Chains A and B, each alone.
Chain A
Amino acid sequence: MGAQDGAMTDSNKLPSGQTRIDSIEMRGITKRFPGVLASDHVDFDVKSGEVHALLGENGAGKSTLMKILYGMYHPDEGQIFLNGKPVSIASPTDAINHGIGMIHQHFMLVPTLTVAENVALGLPSSRGPLTDLDRVSKRIVELAGIYGLKIDPDAYVWQLSVGQQQRVEIIKALYRGAALLILDEPTAVLTPQEVDEFFVIMHQMVKDGYALIFISHKLHEVVEISNRVTVLRNGKKIGTRPTSETTKQDLANWMVGREVDFAPDRGNIQRGEVRLKLEQVSCGSDRGTPGLREVSLEIHSGEILGIAGVSGNGQRELAETIAGLRKTTGGHIYLEEKDVTNFAPGDLTERMLSYIPEERMRDGMIKDFTVAENMILREHHKMPFSASGFLKLKNISTHSEKLIAQFHVKTPSQETLAKNLSGGNIQKIVLAREISRNPRAIIAAQPTRGLDIGATEYVREQLLDQRKRGAAVMLISEDLDEILALSDRVAVIYEGKIMDILSRQNATRERLGLLMAGVQSGEKTPA
């Protein structure tokens, strides 16, 4: 180990042949966007041979800071130092020339091109105007070999799994001579197994002398992989610590700015009458195959029924069928004893059903409408929001001001367009709209997917409050922790069928896991 380190320092070279970056330092970085101070005099640095985690809620300014380092944004104030000397990074090309590479959260790969073509993009070719893909391929295989990555340079990107695409991104950065990698939420799209494999690669790279910046809001990952951690909140730096001197709870409190409660209090609540009842409901899926197969279940007042399952097993169809967005092919749906099968969404609104859709950006709000307008989407046609066909702007404004305060929506104003808000704030708008009308039943589909800690905690508290108020809540989630933390009973869905419904006491991880894989209780695990 020591000998290896010595050799490394002597040559000062990385395995890819690139000179390493001893340190990069950002000092006093400030960036203003209209209405927002995205980065407020932030200092940040990273050294060769370490993982420096950048932690913060959505909208804390992590991505802004890194886009400045990668030359995509220009700071209003501040200076960047490379190995102690000031440098100007005006474009991604500059960043690449300085040995800085970035793996974006949304992969920057062209799906219709091959791996080699993607890697060659933007680089001069050794054959002038003609492509030199054979040479590029050779180098890709070479680089991939260093970290044992299996990559076929001739494969089309659309054929690759998400994990493989990420490896292509890493190769792409190494090919361009990166000695420092900015990893922008690299684990967000990976399965747990892929995350483990990815961490092995990160460990090896750090050992070899790369400098890695790891952006995340997942605490356990930060604690597992990083050497130092910097926390940002609202564009300000809260502090930098060696990871070994912090705990998950400390970091969470830093991020959110107050004590975070990971296990909300459910309280003891007597459930009431049946509010929502499905009887042998079937429907089709978008591909024309059966989506739901004779699903029967009941949700009582004051109860949260969790729907657990692996993504794509009928969860979307279940939510849409109840919400009136998808026609049934059989069976009946009752809302408070009234048969509402195939009722239009408007009629279900009248009967006080609320729906928090999975695709909040597409189905939950209108991107180009203001916050205030999105808040009244469901009841805009009624008093007090409109009368004789005219909108009552004053009432709408009062109403949205009230909800913005009550639901802690972070927005410059109620006239801001919804698309300019972060995911967590958009979900708060949806929640505010759906919950403030005191619905009788709520369908919540993946309500915390993609949200940060603070927003997730908030959404869960709100759902529990609704349960306390006496609403019947269906919670569809792929996050087992969430299901187990909130549900009174858990139904497991598999290939459009309800495998079983377990009480809270009987719903263990193991039992749910088996049911989610399609193994009926009592059956033996397939060998």
Chain B
Amino acid sequence: MDFTIILQAGIASGTVLLFATIGELFSERAGVLNLGVEGMMLVGAMSAFSTTIATGNPWLGVMTAMLFAGIISQIHAYIVITLQADQVVSGLSLTFLGTGISLVLGEGLSKAGTVSLLPNFSIPLLAQIPILGKIFFTDQSILVYVGYLLVPLAWFYINRTRPGLHLRAVGEYPSAADALGINVFRMRYFYVFVGGMLAGLAGATISLAVSPGWFSELTTGGQGWIAIGLVIFAQWDPIRAAVGAYAFGALRRLILDIQGPLLLLGFDNPFYYNPYLGFFLQMLPYLFTVVVLVIGSREAMRKRIGAPAALGNPYIRGERGK
């Protein structure tokens, strides 16, 4: 087993989680919890794959994925921002809706043939760095490199720009933002849309780059839920989100690859085609997600780990307090 290869594949697989996590992070920073990530990712993966088959142009696929997922995220936005309904219920429904749409429109797509994928390439010079160059900069999809750029950009946007300042204010104390003339409703719609587009991009990353193809709901395999857990784990910070996403990507690869070899570090491999241990290992990321979600749902804990104070609360003008 070559660990640099596992890590290299892990980075690619982590890029999926990265996009979804950063997207959800933007939405939550504005105060809107969107549990529909899984559904939006499926819509993205399906529409990317299907558009690419139809047009032969994977870039069109990526754009369609982002647009389509962004549009269905606005259903959630309308329900929770304008109609002020419960964000959990609406988000869960969005997952069902997204799954349903993608299964119907994606029917037969898995046998529709192969597509031209997004290009892979190495970065000159950087790829020469021992070990790290191989893991991060050698023969990766262009989307992986987009991911590298997205993280510092997202951090800079949130912490150093004027719109980022407004974003933080809207998620922490919307009535304060409103009193200063910031349009809370428009901001929330916008960031839910951003979250949707990035979830769509995450879906496209799967179907056009990391594990190309359309395998109905197994395409995403619950990664949308892991992304939601990662946002909490990252304490709503893009840098920590990236660390978490790549670590989980690597873990996913490791869990797959560890069941292959006969010998592990010179010993008999206990995981060698052992279905019980294999399933157990595959469960771990989801177990982690459940634990993080439970921790993150406790009010006292949320305050301590720095959740946006208005997260999950509809903003109603003129209502006292938050």
Whether chain B is bound by chain A comes out as yes
The contact size tier of chain A is 20 to 34
Proximity bits, A117-129, B CB within 8 Å = 1, else 0 = 1101111110011
Among the stretches B79-87, B177-185, B289-297, the one at the interface with A is B177-185
Chain B residue with Cβ nearest A106? B321
Tell which of A104, A112, A131 touches B179, judged by Cβ atoms closer than 8 Å: A104
**Is A121 touching B160 in the complex (CB atoms < 8 A)?**
no
A499 contacts B by Cβ under 8 Å:
no
**Is A72 touching B172 in the complex (CB atoms < 8 A)?**
no
* Cα-based distance from A67 to B179 in the complex (angstroms): 10
* Cα-based distance from A123 to B169 in the complex (angstroms): 13
**Nearest-CB distance from B185 to chain A (Å)?**
13
Q: Given the known inter-chain contacts A113-B165, A129-B163, please indicate yes or no for A91 contacting B172, CB distance below 8 A.
A: no
A290 contacts B by Cβ under 8 Å:
no
**Is A111 touching B165 in the complex (CB atoms < 8 A)?**
no
Chain A residue with Cβ nearest B318? A72
**Nearest-CB distance from B86 to chain A (Å)?**
14
**Nearest-CB distance from A218 to chain B (Å)?**
20
The contact size tier of chain B is 20 to 34
* Cα-based distance from A80 to B306 in the complex (angstroms): 43
Chain A residue with Cβ nearest B320? A106
* 5 sampled A-B residue pairs with Cβ under 8 A: A109-B176, A110-B168, A110-B176, A120-B162, A122-B181
B136 contacts A by Cβ under 8 Å:
no
Proximity bits, B245-263, A CB within 8 Å = 1, else 0 = 0000000000000000000
* Cα-based distance from A145 to B2 in the complex (angstroms): 65
Tell which of A67, A122, A128, A129 touches B180, judged by Cβ atoms closer than 8 Å: A122
Q: Given the known inter-chain contacts A73-B318, A112-B309, A113-B168, please indicate yes or no for A121 contacting B176, CB distance below 8 A.
A: yes
Determine the chain B residues whose CB is within 8 A of the CB of A120 once the complex forms.
Answer: 162, 165
B137 contacts A by Cβ under 8 Å:
no
**Is A130 touching B160 in the complex (CB atoms < 8 A)?**
yes
Determine the chain A residues whose CB is within 8 A of the CB of B165 once the complex forms.
Answer: 113, 117, 120-121, 131
Tell which of A108, A128, A129 touches B173, judged by Cβ atoms closer than 8 Å: A108
Determine the chain A residues whose CB is within 8 A of the CB of B140 once the complex forms.
Answer: none
Within 126-183 of A, Cβ neighbours of B (below 8 Å) are at: 128-131
* Cα-based distance from A305 to B77 in the complex (angstroms): 54
**Is A110 touching B173 in the complex (CB atoms < 8 A)?**
yes
**Nearest-CB distance from A176 to chain B (Å)?**
8
Within 288-322 of B, Cβ neighbours of A (below 8 Å) are at: 306, 309, 317-318, 320-321
Within 156-174 of B, Cβ neighbours of A (below 8 Å) are at: 160-166, 168-169, 172-173
Q: Given the known inter-chain contacts A72-B318, A112-B309, A113-B172, please indicate yes or no for A121 contacting B161, CB distance below 8 A.
A: no
Within 85-112 of A, Cβ neighbours of B (below 8 Å) are at: 91-93, 96, 102, 104, 106-112
**Nearest-CB distance from A130 to chain B (Å)?**
6
Determine the chain A residues whose CB is within 8 A of the CB of B173 once the complex forms.
Answer: 108-111
Determine the chain B residues whose CB is within 8 A of the CB of A93 once the complex forms.
Answer: 181
**Is A125 touching B168 in the complex (CB atoms < 8 A)?**
no
Determine the chain A residues whose CB is within 8 A of the CB of B317 once the complex forms.
Answer: 72
* Cα-based distance from A247 to B143 in the complex (angstroms): 75
* Cα-based distance from A304 to B165 in the complex (angstroms): 53
* Cα-based distance from A92 to B163 in the complex (angstroms): 19
**Is B166 touching A131 in the complex (CB atoms < 8 A)?**
no
Determine the chain A residues whose CB is within 8 A of the CB of B182 once the complex forms.
Answer: 121-122
**Nearest-CB distance from A232 to chain B (Å)?**
19
Determine the chain B residues whose CB is within 8 A of the CB of A111 once the complex forms.
Answer: 172-173, 309
**Interface SS of chain A: helix, strand, loop or mixed?**
loop
**Is B169 touching A113 in the complex (CB atoms < 8 A)?**
yes
B216 contacts A by Cβ under 8 Å:
no
Chain B residue with Cβ nearest A125? B162
B175 contacts A by Cβ under 8 Å:
yes
**Is B181 touching A91 in the complex (CB atoms < 8 A)?**
yes
Q: Given the known inter-chain contacts A110-B173, A112-B172, A113-B169, please indicate yes or no for A121 contacting B309, CB distance below 8 A.
A: no
* Cα-based distance from A117 to B176 in the complex (angstroms): 12
User: 20 additional contacts, CB 8 Å, given A112-B309, A121-B165?
Assistant: A72-B179, A91-B181, A93-B181, A96-B181, A102-B179, A106-B320, A106-B321, A108-B175, A108-B179, A110-B172, A112-B172, A113-B165, A120-B162, A121-B180, A122-B180, A125-B162, A128-B162, A129-B161, A130-B160, A130-B161
Determine the chain A residues whose CB is within 8 A of the CB of B321 once the complex forms.
Answer: 106
Determine the chain B residues whose CB is within 8 A of the CB of A117 once the complex forms.
Answer: 165
Q: Given the known inter-chain contacts A111-B172, A111-B173, A112-B168, please indicate yes or no for A131 contacting B181, CB distance below 8 A.
A: no
Determine the chain B residues whose CB is within 8 A of the CB of A112 once the complex forms.
Answer: 168, 172, 306, 309
* Cα-based distance from A118 to B166 in the complex (angstroms): 10
* Cα-based distance from A110 to B172 in the complex (angstroms): 6
Determine the chain B residues whose CB is within 8 A of the CB of A91 once the complex forms.
Answer: 181
CB-based closest 8 A-B pairs: A122-B180, A93-B181, A108-B176, A110-B173, A108-B179, A110-B172, A125-B162, A122-B181
Proximity bits, B115-128, A CB within 8 Å = 1, else 0 = 00000000000000
**Is A92 touching B162 in the complex (CB atoms < 8 A)?**
no
* Cα-based distance from A72 to B184 in the complex (angstroms): 14
Determine the chain A residues whose CB is within 8 A of the CB of B318 once the complex forms.
Answer: 67, 72-73
Tell which of A106, A121, A128 touches B177, judged by Cβ atoms closer than 8 Å: A121
Q: Given the known inter-chain contacts A92-B181, A93-B181, please indicate yes or no for A131 contacting B172, CB distance below 8 A.
A: no
**Nearest-CB distance from B114 to chain A (Å)?**
42
**Nearest-CB distance from B187 to chain A (Å)?**
11
Q: Given the known inter-chain contacts A92-B180, A108-B175, please indicate yes or no for A121 contacting B166, CB distance below 8 A.
A: yes
* Cα-based distance from A112 to B160 in the complex (angstroms): 15
Chain A residue with Cβ nearest B173? A110
**Is A129 touching B162 in the complex (CB atoms < 8 A)?**
yes
* Cα-based distance from A128 to B318 in the complex (angstroms): 31
Q: Given the known inter-chain contacts A121-B166, A131-B162, please indicate yes or no for A92 contacting B172, CB distance below 8 A.
A: no
